[in-house]
Homo-oligomer: A and B are copies of this chain.
């Protein structure tokens, strides 16, 4: 099978871990990585990550122009940088390159631009792109429908330094129609990487769906999952929760 060619935006703390997952997976070829600042320019991401081979040449963002996408064609762009990356997608979409964006917050006009490209190529946008969190999200919504009388509470635990409420917990609350202030319980202690729990309380039984992050490399696995799905999709806008939701329906057991 031909390897899927990946171009990445972002090589920060999460970006590096995501790049490493693509490098380790032989269904993919990491073609290049675009970084904001010019350090390590034209070195290889793989070398910087401790590998003895050359994958993912690093380009500074100033170097991007039409020709990057033509001279270094890829199948899919994976963006773990920031909201500014979207400015460069247009040329990519023109070149038929699909887009996976894991950016949390876009300015409205940037988001509009991103979604407009779905007229040309398949575009997936999911701030929390891990498989597990999206399974939690979809399963929670279904269980709420099956057991509408259950009381629901969300618990999220993170490292002490995390100031704001977990965006993932807020998304789950919103999708379940729960008031964020009342139903999200945020625990901040020590170095917990990330724990999300949805509790369904009924009079005589309790169901809990729990997700624990071990490392941010889970984002890389999520991006791989998204890329494997997106490679065969026609133009349009996609999200991890929608993919996972469709799979819930497709894979439901018949006894």
Interface size class of A (residues with CB under 8 A): 35 or more
Once A135-B146, A141-B253, A239-B255 are accepted as A-B contacts, the answer to whether A190 and B202 lie under 8 Å apart by CB is: yes
Q: Which of B151, B189, B247, B253 contacts A146 (CB 8 A)?
A: B247
Pairwise interchain contact B190-A201, C-beta atoms closer than 8 A: yes
Instruction: Verify A214–B191 contact, CB threshold 8 A.
Output: yes
A218 touches B200 (CB 8 A): no
**Chain A residues touching B, majority SS:** mixed
Rounded to whole angstroms, the CA-CA distance of A199 and B211 in the bound complex is: 10
A121 interface residue per 8 A CB criterion: no
Name the B residues within 8 Å of A253 (CB-CB). Answer: 138, 141-142, 175, 241, 245
Nearest B residue to A152 by beta-carbon distance?
B189
Which residue from B131, B147, B207, B216 sits with its C-beta under 8 Å from A147? B131
- Looking across the interface, which residue of chain B has its beta carbon closest to that of A218? B204
Structural contact, B252 and A135, CB atoms closer than 8 A: no
